[in-house]
Amino acid sequence: MKKLLLLVLFLPIVIAKAQTSTVHIIPQPVDVKQRPGTFLLTKATVVAYAQPESRTVAEMLATKLSTPTGYTFTAKPSKLTTPGTIQLSLNSLPNAQLGNEGYTVDVSPKVIKIAANKPAGLFYGMQTLLQLFPKEMASTSLAKSSWTAPCVRITDYPRFGWRGVMLDVSRHFFSKEDVMRYIDEIAQLKYNTFHWHLTDDQGWRIEIKSLPRLTQVGAWRVPRIGKIGQLAPPKAGEAPTDGGFYTQEDIKEVVRYAQERNVTIVPEIDVPGHSMAAIAAYPELSCTKDTNTRVNAGSNFSEWYGNGKFKMFIDNTLNPSDEHVYAFLDKVFTEVAALFPNPYIHAGGDECYKGYWENDPGCKALMQKMNMKHSEELQSYFMKRVEQILKAKGKKLIGWDEILEGGIAPEATVMSWRGIKGGIEAAKLGHEVVMTPNQYAYIDYMQSDPTVEPPIYSTLRLKTCYNYEPVPDSVDAKLILGGQANLWTEAVSTLSHAEYMTYPRCWALADVYWSPKESKNWEGFIPRMETQFERADLAGINYARSAYDPIVTTTLKGNKLVASMDTEIPGLDVFYTIDDSVPGRYANKYGTPIEIPEGPITLRVITYRAGKPIGRMLTLKRDDLRKRAK
């Protein structure tokens, strides 16, 4: 009898644990309470919306549910919650805890209720509900599954108001369709800001009708394949056929698409540096006025010395002393402001080379007139003029943290990318900040060992992303609007590659920007990530499995070279060889650091889980191991 009583008492705990293992939601909700039972989706299920403002989300949900199940759902106006109903409704009395983007999802065996204060919250509640159903719900074609959702009560709301992802479409052009697909993907993860980097040295991507040469000339470059910075410059007579741009009608379509998914688009027009494409179209905008300037195709046009110091071989900066430049910018921002109905326009401000300014008579005269002592003050003057242009159009200036140099514009918002220092400085000056430090949020960086990843400047592993904390201890948390991931595309030319660089790192950062700080747990994130892998497979979304790869570090202990091996994901076995054989589960199993003998030695390392290979094999020669020794 005692044993039976213990079994009865123990059984609910087992059931609860089993159900918990199936609730794998990204980002992690604030509160999930599980209950016995499931809701079964059938062809008789009704998708209902209680208010007209809920209709758009209800129609989206009906479409999402119809595609993989094969059932034909349509959204219907109804306040009734009869059995078999999925109802979306706006709270008649706003719930202060939920704010504008929070929601509740209540799943019982008979009814599912999604409630929120605003349609944005319903949209995010829908995303959570879809993740409660089996992974096959993510399929883009007819699939087979039980179509059940566990009974839960979820209360959820975001930690930060700015949850962004930046896509650079200047270095490589992405079609309108690709951009909309990318927006749809990040919206499913509850990101609400799409930072669209539209102009740079390698291309001007937005139609400005009053300045047609910006796209006639600035959107096109000579075709080149290879690593940017190492490609040949244009040859005489070579046709600029590589590129593209978005018409204003394209922009309007993308903006509407994003708005339906609760995504605000922040356009970036990068000035005064990074302006080679604009100068190729209108050479008179620069100090040198070089009519031979072309849109850069990936050739080396700069030399970097460290600590942010560099020299440009080609003038890619707008002339801050020329009033025609500000007339040009007024035309650009007039049209940009009309296309994007959000408060911000990003004006860049980063990596502006001032050498050409320092030698320009007009700039020297302006410095003397304004009693400037350093050329950084010229950029401050420029950005303050830009702020006034934007303010006249009802927009706020946001820029990279270089806009602090020489004196920040009075009402500017700072995007801190060179670590967190600029963000701290801006916040202490009373400015709002978006935290996007390169060592935590630059998703163009390698995800694993340089021997198995396309090489680029640095490495950013998934666990590092996940462990990021956007609010420094020394600042007022209210001034940290949030953060974002940045995908620069110097080495990324296709949407598939963009997805590979974005996921799973943007799954990790979704937790960082949405979920409570207290709920972060790396080991708990792993099963949610692995469920997301399965959903992505069915949705046709590319992603990286780099987190399974082994990590090899080396040290010198006297004359001895010692290799240590580790993994990001706990519970993996690491096997290695140094005898030129291929490692497998019968090879040496790593336990403690090993000495790498002298001679032509090659270390090969691979990870296994449950007796099967799971990570990529690293092949490292002794000389390479010696170079990475600390």
Q: Please give the positions annotated as active site.
A: 200, 274, 351
Q: What is the DSSP letter of 137?
A: G
CA atoms within 13 A on the CB side of 229: 10
Pick from 573, 194, 571, 494: nearest CA to 346: 194
The answer to whether 270 touches 200, Cβ cutoff 8 Å, is yes
Question: Strands, E, within 159-263: which ranges?
Answer: 162-168, 193-197, 199-200, 203-204, 220-221, 242-243
What b/e readout covers 58-81, taking b as 16+ CB neighbours within 10 angstroms?
bbbbbebbebbbeeebebeeeeeb
Residues 504 and 541: beta-carbon distance below 8 Å: no
Any idea which residue has 């919206």 for tokens?
187
Cis peptide before 470 (omega within 30 of 0): no
| Contact between 357 and 317 (Cβ < 8 Å) | yes
Contact assessment for residue 318 and residue 286, using Cβ atoms and an 8 Å cutoff: yes
Q: What is the CB-side half-sphere exposure of residue 199 using CA atoms within 13 A?
A: 35
Estimate the crossing angle of helix 248-260 against helix 323-339, to 10 degrees: 50
How far, in Å, CA of 21 to CA of 231, rounded?
50
DSSP 196-213: EE-EETTEE-B--TT-TH
Give the three-class secondary structure for 400: strand
Q: How many CB atoms lie within 10 A of CB 581?
A: 10
How many Å apart are CA 18 and CA 151, to the nearest integer?
A: 13
Length of the chain: 630
Q: Which residues touch 574 (CB under 8 Å, ≥6 apart)?
A: 550, 565, 566, 567, 589, 590, 605, 606, 607, 608
| DSSP structure class, residue 287 | S
What are phi and psi for residue 544, nearest 5 degrees? -100, 145
For 304, what's the count of Cα atoms within 13 Å in the CB-facing half-sphere?
A: 8
Q: Which whole-number Å values give the CA distances from 408 to 117, 376, 451, 498, 543, in the listed order?
A: 37, 11, 42, 33, 39
Give the 3-state secondary structure of residue 182.
helix
Cis peptide bond N-terminal to 272, omega within 30: yes
Residue 520 DSSP SS3: coil
